[in-house]
Amino acid sequence: MLGRHGPRLGHVSDNETRDDTSDTASDNTLGLDPLLLEILACPCPAHAPLRVDIDRQLLVCTECGRGFPVREGIPVMLLDEAV
Ligand SMILES: [Zn+2]
């Protein structure tokens, strides 16, 4: 019989004791996985990390300032689509 939780990825840490703020957290990432945000990089030559612009619903490059839309939970990392 398999356990209900299965193997856990990463480490189990203080996050276990975190209050239930998951709704707020997902709002802060436009519904994207925070781990995905960490590995995403702008397609510009700097390949800079992106930050979330909640007001504009965009992922904004920290180097070139381009903003990339998120469509149905998928970041559109195309320079043609950048604003
Ligand atoms: Zn950039």
**What's the pLDDT score for residue 28?**
84
Structure tokens at 72: 């149905």
Q: Is residue 68 part of a domain?
A: yes
Q: Is residue 25 part of a domain?
A: no
Question: Is residue 48 within 8 Å of 61, Cβ to Cβ?
Answer: yes
Q: Is residue 13 part of a domain?
A: no
> Confidence class of residue 45 from pLDDT cuts 50, 70 and 90?
very high
Q: Is residue 15 part of a domain?
A: no
CA of 5 to the centre of ligand 1 (A): 39
pTM to 2 decimal places: 0.66
Radius of gyration of the chain (CA): 16
Q: Which residues form the domain of 65?
A: 30-81
Q: Is residue 66 part of a domain?
A: yes
Domain count for the chain, please give it: 1
| Residue 68 CA, distance from chain mean position | 12
CA of 57 to the centre of ligand 1 (A): 17
**What's the pLDDT score for residue 55?**
93
CA of 67 to the centre of ligand 1 (A): 9
Q: Is residue 18 part of a domain?
A: no
CA of 27 to the centre of ligand 1 (A): 23
Structure tokens at 57: 């619903």
- For the chain, the maximum distance between any two Cα atoms, rounded to a whole number of angstroms, is 52
Q: Is residue 36 part of a domain?
A: yes
